[in-house]
Structure formats: structure tokens, C-alpha cells
Copies of this chain bind each other. A is one copy, B any other.
Amino acid sequence: MHRFEVWAPRASRVRLYLHNELREMQPPASVDDHGWWRLEAPDAGPGTGYGFAVDDDDQPWPDPRSLWQPDGVHGLSCVYDQAAFAWTDKGFQAPPLSSAVIYELHIGTFTPEGTLDAAIARLDYLVELGVTHVELLPLAAFPGVFGWGYDGAALYAVHQPYGGPDALKRFVDAAHGKGLAVLLDVVYNHFGPVGNYTGKFGPYLVDTHHTPWGGAVNFEEWGADQVRRFFLDNALMWMRDFHMDGLRLDAVHAFVDRSAIHFLEQLATEVEHLSSAIGRQLTLIAESDLNDPRVVTSREAGGYGIDAQWSDDFHHALFTAVAPQETRGYYEDFGGLAKLAKALEETFVYDGIYSRHRNRIHGRPAGTLDRHRFLGYIQNHDQVGNRAQGDRVAMVAGMDRARAAAALVLLGPFVPMLFQGEEWAASTPFLYFADHEDPGMARAVSEGRRREFSAFGWKPEDVPDPVERASYERSGLRWEETAAGEHAQMLAWYKELIRLRRSLPELEDGAPGACRVEFDEQQGWLMVHRGVVIVAVNLGCQQVRLSVPLVTELILGSGTSTLQSGTLTLHDGATAVLRRQ
């Protein structure tokens, strides 16, 4: 027995495809049914394949809310028993963001197998590294085998090549068993261009607004309630049924929602209710390019009440400080220690000032918002993967500057986030890859990628082709690198920094005033004061001598630095962490 339901507000007829036949579904009885069609089938249960035919369709489409697509996004949906899994994580609580260190992880490239089960075997490594939260790139089913996951088509189904829904539950349960929280990246601003059949059923997208990925999601027009419910219920499902500790919301700046209650506010409200109901701390983190404090301001204060957001300004300021040759694209708005100091002290560099790249004034001051409402990072899937060759910061800026950057991320005011392999300066790139089965789409993606980078002077043959499997395979981590040499040294450095952050309360202080910066643009040094801790980096080309309080000890260093009689000497590229007594 299974009760099938589907929203099709404009359909004149919906039929359930089951056991090779089409059965008429019950139409919405009144306006209170809001366009939902229903049918109970006594001969369906877990594992039964099904689909829906709309109007005169003679073939079924997959269920927009399908929980299981064992044959991929184009195949039949499959009834899945959400309640069957035997959880063992009772009582698990995620650490608060204020003491979090987040690790961004792509299931397909994290292990050679590219599955959730294989990733379970690496959880001990993450525990030893010292991170508290794993953030998984999107797992919603997308066409083909490999991809970043931002082209998800069946948003309720776990990508089958990763192991499907049961594998995700095994992963989360195992992570919780080891004390690790799990966050999931979800994409609510668009659907993947292929395999998304929601348009057969209802107005999920509008044609009045366009995003870089097609029609905008219908958050505010006719039928928007049920579209919002589609995404809200999806969010709640991951946390309630898959025990996720929170979500990372992709590109919320692409939402067009002028409703009196913004989708993000509604989501934050419902997640708060779920949190109370299940007694677990739940976290929402937005990717926002708006530099608008409203996103992470409490609802009581007129904000949307999202817990935290990514802070690209800090990334760009830090990246251009350690790699000053990077001046193209959005990096034209950054460069120099003054911008890095502003990011560290004030969060948004573009806080109402003119951005040349955008050719407009951008942003608004973060003001007194707690800095734990922002994530700080020097690598993430985008900042690495959106480079032509997917090269990581150590390859671009060298090991010394990568270490300095890590120190500023991990001892800085924001919630630190690492990207898989960053901690050992992995030699593997993270390329853009997308398994487009459709040849026309594949060609468009290949050519689009090459065209994009030709604008920056790249020859086509130097830009790896995203649709080739080799791009995916080259991006797989080589775990053997962690065993020895400079990679092992980098790993040790990261472990030390994380240990330090998690042991010194000053470093977990997110108060706006708890990060004060001195710097010399000319000489290239920068000192970050975090209570009694000082993080000093020399990004210049020659040795510098800095005055520090007399009663100060050197507690961690990279490169050559000496501390004597209140003078810190830093060779070029060196990093020193000091503590006043």
C-alpha cells in the first residue's frame, strides 16, 4: 500500500504509471487541495517503480519529489521507505558554528571509489584533522555519473552512483558516530538543464526572470506556495529524515523573491520549528554574493535569520594578497593588504563602495554582526574549480604563502572552511567536470567553458574539457600524498592551526572587535591581533622586523622567524603565531 501524490495545478488529468499500466488519479476536490492529485495503490511498496502521466501523455514522467531514482533521473521513480533505516546516532548534537571548522567535500572525488560508503572509511582521518563539520557538495540526482552536483534534476533523490539514499544515511550515521556534524549543499535557485521534468507538472519556473542557469524559480508568482513547499519540504527532509545538521544554500543571490515573507525567512522559520521539534541544533548557511547583512540578520531585527553566509570578499582579499599576480575577473576589485585588513576587521570589503568589476556600488556594512555569521576560506570548490586548470592556492602562490593564508583562515575571525585536499596542498586539481549525456548539451558546456577562459587569454587546448571523464578522474584526491614530504608537512601545519584555534578561546571569539589588524602595504607584512594571540605574516619579498610586546612567546611558526627582545623577525613568506603572556 502506498499513497501517491503529485502537484499538477493546471492538469486536466493525471495518471499514475504502476506495473505497466496507467491509473487515473483523483483530481483536487476543492481549492483547498491546492492542485494536488492523489491515489492510493494497495499493490505498491518500497522498491515499486512508478511515474506520472499528465494530460494526454502516454508515457510517465518521474515524480518531482521522487526519493529514489535507481535508474537515473530519466528513469522511473521508485517507492522508498524513509523510515526503514536503523539509526544509531541518538542524542548527537552538532557543535555550534562558533566552534566549528568546516570541511567541504565532494563525494565523487574524495575517494577513488567516489561513493558515500568509501567516504565513511575516511571519517577517522577527518576526526584526526580536527574538523567538526563535513559539508557535502550537492547529492541530488543529476544526469550521468560524474559532476559537481549543481545541475541536480531530481532534488529529493540521492544520486545513485554515490550510493543512493541508504548510503547517505549510512554516511551521516557513521559521521555522527565519530562526532562529526554533516551539512548538505542544496541548490534552490535553479534546476539542472537536463532531466528536470517538473515543468510537466507545474509552474516551478517563471519566464519573467532569468538566472545564469535559465528561468528563475517561481518564489512569488501564481502557484508559488507549492513551489516554495517543494523546496521547504526538501530542506526539512534532509534534516529530519537524513539527519543532516544543516544546509548550505547555493547562490541565494539568484533568488527573485519580492514576497513580503522572503523564501529564506520562511525557510529559517520552519527550520527553527523543526529544530525545536526534534531537539537538534540545525544550521543554515547561505552562499550570498549580495554583501547584504539582511541575509544573516535575525528575523526579529528585520533580517532573514540565516545563521551564516560565505564571505567571498575575505577569500578574494586573501587570495590576491598571497597571489598578487591575480588581477583578472573579479580579482580586479581586490589586491593589497588594506583590503585584506578591511575584510578581517569589517567582513565586507564592498560595503557600500564602488566596485569596478560590477561597475556599481556594492554592499552594506556588516556592522556589529557576529563574525561567526560568516565563513572564511582560501579554497572552496568554486574558487579552485572555476579556474581554467583547477589549480589550488599552493600551486598558484607557493607553499609558504599557502601556509600564511591557512593561518589567517584558521586563526581569523570567521568560521573557517577547508576544501578537501587543501590541508595537504594536494597536487590534484579540482577541475570543472559534468557528465552531460546529451551530446548537444555536452558540446555547449565544452565550448562555453573554453570561450569563457579565452577571454582571459587561455588557449582552448589548455582548458581541460569538463565533459571528459579524465577531468573528473584527474580531480580525485591522491591520499598517498599525505604520507610524506611537503604534503605531510602541510597537513601537520593545518592540524596545528586547527588544534590552536580549538584550544585558545581568543581564536573562537567572533565579536566584531575581536580582530584588529596592523599592516604595511609597502613591506608586505600584516599582523592580526586576536586577544592575546598575534598572527604575523610576511607576504613581502624581504625580511621584516616588527615590534611586538616584550612578554610575548612564539607558539607556532612556518618559515624562518625569530623573536628576540620584543622584535619579531620574519623572513619573506614566513608566518608566526605569538601569544602575549
Contacts and interface: CB of A to CB of B under 8 A. Distances in A.
B360 A209 contact: no
Given A255-B258, A260-B291, 9 more contacts: A208-B211, A209-B210, A222-B359, A225-B360, A225-B361, A260-B362, A260-B363, A294-B302, A297-B302
6 contacts: A209-B209, A223-B359, A225-B359, A255-B258, A261-B364, A294-B302
B364 A260 contact: yes
Interface in A356-378: 356, 358-364
Given A209-B210, A303-B302, A290 B361 contact: no
A31 B356 contact: yes
A351 to B, nearest CB: 8
A221 B210 CA distance: 13
Interface of A: 9, 31, 207-211, 220-225, 253, 255-256, 258-261, 290-294, 297, 301-303, 352, 354, 356, 358-364
Nearest to A297: B302
A92 to B, nearest CB: 34
Number of copies of chain A assembled together: 2
Contacts of A302: 294, 297, 301-303
A260 B293 contact: yes
A577 to B, nearest CB: 34
Secondary structure of the A contact surface, majority rule: loop
Contacts of A290: 258-260
Nearest to A300: B302
Contacts of A294: 260, 302
A217 to B, nearest CB: 13
A366 to B, nearest CB: 10
B260 A359 contact: no
Contacts of A360: 220-225
A358 B223 CA distance: 8
Contacts of A363: 260
Contacts of A9: 359
Contacts of A31: 356
A210 B290 CA distance: 21
A352 B174 CA distance: 41
A464 B290 CA distance: 47
A563 B211 CA distance: 64
A297 B261 CA distance: 15
A9 B258 CA distance: 30
A115 to B, nearest CB: 38
Interface centre among A222, A301, A302 (most CB of B within 10 A): A302
Contact of A256 (B211, B256, B364): B256
Contact of A225 (B211, B256, B260, B354): B354
Contacts of A291: 260
Contacts of A260: 290-294, 352, 362-364
Interface centre among A208, A222, A256, A352 (most CB of B within 10 A): A208
Nearest to A359: B222
A29 to B, nearest CB: 15
A180 to B, nearest CB: 34
Contacts of A261: 352, 361, 364
A190 to B, nearest CB: 13
A142 B260 CA distance: 33
A475 B211 CA distance: 43
A258 B286 CA distance: 15
Nearest to A302: B302
Given A222-B360, A223-B360, A256 B209 contact: yes
- Across the A-B interface, the 8 shortest Cβ-Cβ residue pairs: A302-B302, A260-B364, A260-B292, A224-B360, A225-B360, A222-B359, A208-B210, A209-B209
Contacts of A258: 253, 255-256, 290, 292
Contacts of A259: 290, 292, 362
Contacts of A303: 302
Contacts of A297: 302
Nearest to A351: B260
Contacts of A225: 354, 359-361
